[in-house]
Structure 1
């Protein structure tokens, strides 16, 4: 179980998920290649992770690469994969030292074997960390995740391990990539786009959403604190009526 905030606050979001959008536009505005923006965005992740403990955020999930991102140019995709490898190499020991438990979600089949091996090693290195649970979504898509989960569930039914009549809305989450995580309380999307882009479709059914105009490389810890602080003013009814 992750630690709570150092000031004891418990009215904020325990799990925040972020669609880190706007890296390419940020770079273009500066006359630089898109990969320059992705590099700046990767550095921003560290600042946001470091801000989590004092805000009482135990779980942070970031959308790094979607199943649809393979449609980008070959050079950009290759650059992103190289960036992921460098991030793991550069940040691994720091994440461990700061007691950050790292998990990856998404379909690893299409990823480079070296990258997958590095992901496995980082997960093992930080497995016992507790202060922040950082989940990185790579080659992830919400529909793809549900499809893969359904296949696993169907195999268990076919093998006689699961009674089909016992399947309910509590069953499928056990087969999702996020099975060990609580559902996100708050989903943030940067860059001014107001869509969820196939991110955590099942898990965010009752999440609060915040769409921020700021491009991801400019999304500071101060702005993160402001958004998280505003969460406490929301009334979450989960379909019920509060008298």
Structure 2
């Protein structure tokens, strides 16, 4: 797919990806699910590099949900080890490409070594400004919104803010993603057509793109195809086509 077809003036400012299909990919090959997770790393690298080259400013990857803790212990433990390994391997790529690493979710739930490695890479890349890559780890959107509600209720109770002060901006400021723009394009691989508790507030006006490609097979051409599809849509934000024109 020719990336020159992409209109650089109409890039999504924020792309979010539900990286689905690792287990099925491995099963199709007669392997354990872990084999799929291991092979998903190449898709992550190529997606990041392609998005950065195109000029996308924000990329958020759904790496591990709050519900994923319920998977078999061996799979969870291996996923955490893969996370640490990937962070160590990719830190040079992030620094060489001026990419900042960010993370959202209940990070305190991660194993200590994963937390430490994550914080180190985030610290090393904090001044990079070409693109921000956000990993959603131990992330659940309902938990995120619940936490925001609790914070706001506490501030109202302590007379820090009035209920009348609460608007979309204040709610945004209490979410994990307070320093990120709303999602413009949400991509989900593997053919599943659901959101799975991911960025429910932030995708209110996002364009949704579902592909049958399993995540380990996702490559730059697939990302380019998703962006071209996005650019061929009319985003109305509640208005009519006539109003936009």
Structure 2 matches for 1:102-181, cutoff 5 A?
102-181=101-180
Shift of 1:56: 2.8
In structure 1, the residue matched to 2:94 is 95
Runs of 4 or more above 3 Å deviation: none
Consecutive unaligned residues of structure 2, counting only runs of 5 or more, are none
Provide the alpha-carbon RMSD of the alignment.
1.5
Q: Taking structure 2 as the reference length, what is the TM-score of the superposition?
A: 0.93
**Contact 1:65–1:138 at 8 Å: present in 2 too?**
yes
- Distance, in Å, in 2 between the alignment partners of 1:107 and 1:131 is 26
Consecutive unaligned residues of structure 1, counting only runs of 5 or more, are none
- Distance, in Å, in 2 between the alignment partners of 1:199 and 1:51 is 23
- Distance, in Å, in 1 between the alignment partners of 2:103 and 2:121 is 9
In structure 2, the residue matched to 1:81 is 80
| Residue 20 of structure 2 is aligned to residue 21 of structure 1 | yes
For residues 90 and 53 of structure 1, do their structure 2 counterparts lie closer, same or farther at Cα, with a shift above 3 Å needed? Answer: closer
Instruction: Tell me the secondary structure at the aligned position of residue 178 of structure 1.
Output: coil
Point out the structure with the larger helix share: 2
Shift of 1:8: 7.8
In structure 1, the residue matched to 2:206 is 207
Q: Taking structure 1 as the reference length, what is the TM-score of the superposition?
A: 0.94
The number of residue pairs the alignment matches comes to: 238
- Once the two structures are superposed, residues 171-224 of structure 1 have per-residue CA deviations (whole angstroms, 9 ceiling, x without a partner) of 111000000000110000000000000000000000000010000010111111
Instruction: Tell me the secondary structure at the aligned position of residue 181 of structure 1.
Output: coil
**Contact 1:101–1:127 at 8 Å: present in 2 too?**
yes
